[in-house]
Amino acid sequence: QVQLVESGGGLVQPGGSLRLSCAASGFTFSNNAMSWFRQAPGKEREFVATISSTGITNYADSVKGRFTISRDNAKSTVYLQMNSLKPEDTAVYYCKAAPSPFRAYWGQGTQVTVSS
C-alpha cells in the first residue's frame, strides 16, 4: 500500500518562503520519480515539479527559478523548497508517486496560502 503524507504548508507573505515535505512509504522510493502538483480553488490540478530517481528535475514555467524539488532517499522523502512566493502560488499542494505503470498515487495535500 502506497502512502504519501505532505506537510509544511501554511500562510506566508508575498516574497516569503516555505518548504514542503512528502513522506513516502509502500514502495521502493529510491527507484521512482516523485512529483509535486497543485490545485487552486476552482481550477484544474497543475504540474509543479518532478524529480527522477537519479535526481533529474523538471519544473513548470510558472515556478522555474523560484522552486526547487529535491529528495532524500534515506528518508524516503521528497521536498519542495518554495522561494519568492506570489499570491498566485496559493493552492493545495499534492505529492505524486507512480511506482506502477497502472496508476498514480496522491497524498492528502497541504495548503499553501500566500497573502499579505
Tens of pLDDT, residue by residue over 27-54, are 999 999 999 999 999 999 999 999 999 9
Q: Mind listing the pLDDT tens digit for each residue in 75-98?
A: 999 999 999 999 999 999 999 998
Distance separating alpha carbons of residues 69 and 93, to the nearest angstrom: 13
56-63: long-range contacts, CB 8 A cutoff, minimum separation 24: 62/88, 63/89
Residue of 43, 45, 47 lying closest to 34 (CA atoms): 47
